[in-house]
Each structure stands twice: as C-alpha cells, then as structure tokens.
Structure 1
Amino acid sequence: MIDKNSPIPVYYQVKEEIKEKISKGIWKVNECIASERELVEQYEVSRMTVRQALGELVQEGILVREKGKGTFVCEPKVKQKDVMSFTDIIKKSGGELETEVLEFDLIDTPEELIDVLKSKKVYRINRMRKVNNECIANEIVHIPEKTCKNLSKEKLKGSLFKIIEENGYVIDHSESEITALIMDDYYKKIFNLSEVAPLIRTYGKTLDDKKNILFIEESIYRSDKYILEVNISRREGILK
C-alpha cells in the first residue's frame, strides 16, 4: 500500500489512502477514523508522517480533530475556484441541487446601477440554492433586459450562465469583493436555521469576452458548507 521507495512522499501516500477510504465510504461523514497509533501500525510509518498527513486533511476541510475524542470525517463542502455557474459546481461535485426563485421582477434600473449596466430596465432575481436539501446560498442578481430575452421564473430554476450563453454571450470572467457577514434573524430565516452559522458575502460583476458587464450579483454563502478559492497572480509590469 505504501511504497517507501517511491518518489512520492510517504506522508502524501498515507494522505491519499485515507482520502480513498473516505470516498469509498469505509469512514463515513461524522465518523471517527482510526487513531494515529492504528494508522502508524497499519501503514508501518512514523507517527510524524501520520500527523503530517492528517494535518493537511484537516487544513483541507476533509477531517476535523475533536480534543479527547479523535479525528472525524467532515461533511463535504461545495468548492469553487473557477468561473463556473453554481449549477455546474454542484453537478461536478455530485450533489443534488434545488433552486427556489423568491423574486423575479422586471424593474426600472436602480440609479446606482444605470451607468454600470447601461440599461433602463433590469430583471431583479432573488434565488435560494439548496444542496442536498440544505440552503447553501442566497443570490440576488440584477441583469439587463436585453441580456436575457424571454426570461422566465421557470428557466431560473436552472443555470443562469446557460441562459446567458443561449442568448449569444460568452462569459469570460468575474470581478468580486469578498467580505465576512454576521448572521442575523433575517438570514436565519431564509437559510432555515435556528443556530448562527458563518457567512461570506460576495458582490461583483460578471463580464463577457468583450468586457461588457452582463450582470451584477450579490451572493451570501454559508461558509461552513462552501469554499471559494481565490488565486491571485503577480502580473509583470503591474507590481513593482
């Protein structure tokens, strides 16, 4: 199982073995995995090697340590690191997605968005996104009427990205700001929770390949269920 002559570090092999057992259901969500001592004996490696493997799995949100109890398998989180629709993210992760459209109205463009969206009329869309019957995200979108022709409430139960692309646009990238948010009674209600959960808020714009702004979106995510990866690169000539 563990090849100590391999160029792949031993701790990494142990880490992948543990991940494979979790994926196969040998250790299920919320179950305690084998102890450090048992893993040392099973894989015939040092305790330090096991601790490094477990430490990385904890950092990645796959495992969690509980003092005096052991190491447990975490519930999988929704993970986003590319420009993808929420629908595609959940499909890729194997989750079951349900979308509830709370609001769908054609309104006069809010004054602060007129210069940004360059449209007199916009659709205001408010959607709850549920994954495996749990409310994970609340999205509020303002999108110009011209961007999505023949838009309907029923269509919005699917992918907004797909609707936009069907209207001839190429989604290129998004520009967002990310902040932490304290859960209040309003968010407890819409997320259907009795206890406080951590939230993150993103607010930004999504652009096409011609740098036109397609829509503005404010999204609130449960950060105990959702991970947003941000990759920041240093481009030559920008930072000195």
Structure 2
Amino acid sequence: MIDKNSPIPVYYQLKEDIKKKIANGVWKVGQCIDSERELSESYGVSRMTIRQALGELVQEGILIREKGKGTFVCEPKVKQKDMMSFSNIISKLGGNLNTEVLGFEIIDTPEDMQEIFPFEKLYRIDRMRIVDGENIANEIVYIPCDYCGYIDEDLLKGSLFEILEGFGYTIDYSQSSIKAVVMDDYYKKLFKVDKNVPLLNIYSKTITKNGKILFVEESIYRSDKFLLEVDISTREGKFR
C-alpha cells in the first residue's frame, strides 16, 4: 500500500489511501477509524507520519478528532470555493437540492440599505435550501424591484443566478463578511434539529461586471454541512 521508494511523500500516500478506504466504505460516516498505533503497525510507518496524514485529513474536513474517543469520519460537507450559485454547487456534487420559499414580498427599502439601493422598493426573498432532505442554508436576499422582470415563487425554487442572468446581468464577484452564530431555539426550529449545531452568518454583496451591486444576501449556513474556502492574497506593493 505504501511505496517508501516513491518520490511521493509517505504521509501523502497514506492520506490518499485512507481517503480511498472511506470512499469504498471501509470506514463509514460517523465511524471511528483505527488508532494511530494500529495504523502505524498496519502501514509499517512511524506514528509521526500517521499523525501528519490524519492532521491534514482533519483540516480538510474529512476526519474529526474527539478527545478521549478517537478519530471519526465526518459527514461530507457542501464545499464552496469559487463564485458559483448554491444550485450549481449541489448539482456538481451530485446532491439532491430542494428550495422552499419561506417568504417573498415587496418592501420599502430599509434605511440601512438606502445608500446601496437608491430605490423605493425591494424584493425580500427568504429561502430555505434543503440538501438530501436536510435544511442546510437559510438565505434572505434583497434586490431592487427595478432590476428585475417577472419573478414568482416557482421561479425562486431554482437558481437566483440563472434568473438574473436571464435579465441580462453578468455576475462578477461578491464581497462577504463571515461570523459565527450561536444556536438557539429559533434556529433549531428553522433548521429542524433538536441539538446544537454550528452556524455561520455570511453577509454578502453580489456585484456585476460593470460594478453594480445587484443584490444583498444574508445567509445562515450549518457549518457542519457547509465549508466555505477563502483564498487571501496581497498584491505586490500594497502592504509595506
């Protein structure tokens, strides 16, 4: 299983083999994998190498360590890295996505959004995104009525990106802020869970190719089911 003469690092070979075993059902979601000692003996490598491989799998969200209990296989998460609609992400992962429209109304533009949207009326769209039967994300979107053609609840069960692209907009990027949210009775009811689960609040402005803020979205995600990867870099000369 491990070729110590290969130019590929041993820990990486080990990591890939553990991932293959998980994919093949040797260790199932929620199951405790072999201990470091057992893995060291079965693979014939040092415990330090085992620890490095397991550490990277924990960082990747494939495994989770529970103190005093062992290392367990995580449930696969919805993973978002690039600018892509939630619908497209789930489609690429092969998941089954349903969208429940919890609210769809025309409102007066809130005072704190009047600088962003100098319009009298906004659509307020409240949707629950359900993946493989579990409530994963609650999205509340604000978009000027003037930006849209005809929208109804049936259309909103699909991709909002596709709806807006149909109106001639080309989405370029989004600006987001992320913070943790404490689970309470309201969120337990919203996500239909009876236990505390970690939540993320993501507030974002989605911007078109010509620099127009197209819509504002405030979403709550179950972070035990959703992973957002953010790449941060600096341009030369920006920081001194």
TM-score norm. by structure 1 comes to 0.93
- Matches for 1:46-125 after TM superposition, within 5 Å: 46-125=46-125
Residue of structure 2 in register with 1:166 after alignment: 166
Deviation at 1:169, TM superposition (A): 0.9
- Residues 1:133 and 2:133 are matched in the alignment: yes
Deviation at 1:68, TM superposition (A): 4.4
**SS at structure 2 position matched to 1:106:** strand
Seq. identity, %: 64
RMSD of equivalent CA atoms: 1.6
**SS at structure 1 position matched to 2:147:** coil
Deviation at 1:29, TM superposition (A): 0.5
Q: How many Å separate the matches in 1 of 2:44 and 2:196? A: 43
Amino acid at match of 1:52: Q
- Matches for 1:195-214 after TM superposition, within 5 Å: 195-214=195-214
Deviation at 1:108, TM superposition (A): 2.5
Query: Are 1:97 and 1:129, in contact at CA under 8 Å, matched by a contact in 2?
Result: yes
Per-residue displacement from partner, 1:78-134 (whole Å, max 9, x unpaired)? 111111111112222222211110001122222322331233222100011111211
**SS at structure 1 position matched to 2:105:** strand
Q: How many Å separate the matches in 1 of 2:84 and 2:91? A: 11
**SS at structure 1 position matched to 2:114:** helix
Amino acid at match of 1:83: M
**SS at structure 1 position matched to 2:163:** helix
- Residues 1:38 and 2:56 are matched in the alignment: no
Deviation at 1:67, TM superposition (A): 4.0
**SS at structure 2 position matched to 1:239:** coil
* Equivalent pairs, count: 240
Q: 1:115 to 1:70 in 2, by over 3 A?
A: closer
TM-score norm. by structure 2 comes to 0.93
Q: How many Å separate the matches in 2 of 1:68 and 1:56? A: 20
Q: How many Å separate the matches in 2 of 1:21 and 1:117? A: 51
**SS at structure 2 position matched to 1:88:** helix
For structure 2, the 5+ residue unaligned runs are: none
Q: 1:67 to 1:109 in 2, by over 3 A?
A: closer
For structure 1, the 5+ residue unaligned runs are: none
Q: How many Å separate the matches in 2 of 1:189 and 1:123? A: 25
Residue of structure 2 in register with 1:191 after alignment: 191
Query: Are 1:102 and 1:126, in contact at CA under 8 Å, matched by a contact in 2?
Result: yes
Instruction: Out of 7-16 and 187-196, give the one that drifted further.
Output: 187-196
**SS at structure 2 position matched to 1:100:** strand
Amino acid at match of 1:26: V
Residue of structure 2 in register with 1:233 after alignment: 233
Residue of structure 2 in register with 1:180 after alignment: 180
Q: How many Å separate the matches in 2 of 1:113 and 1:68? A: 49
Residue of structure 1 in register with 2:27 after alignment: 27
User: Following TM superposition, where does structure 1 have runs of at least 4 consecutive aligned residues deviating by more than 4 angstroms?
Assistant: none
Q: How many Å separate the matches in 1 of 2:108 and 2:69? A: 57
Q: 1:236 to 1:68 in 2, by over 3 A?
A: closer
Residue of structure 2 in register with 1:152 after alignment: 152
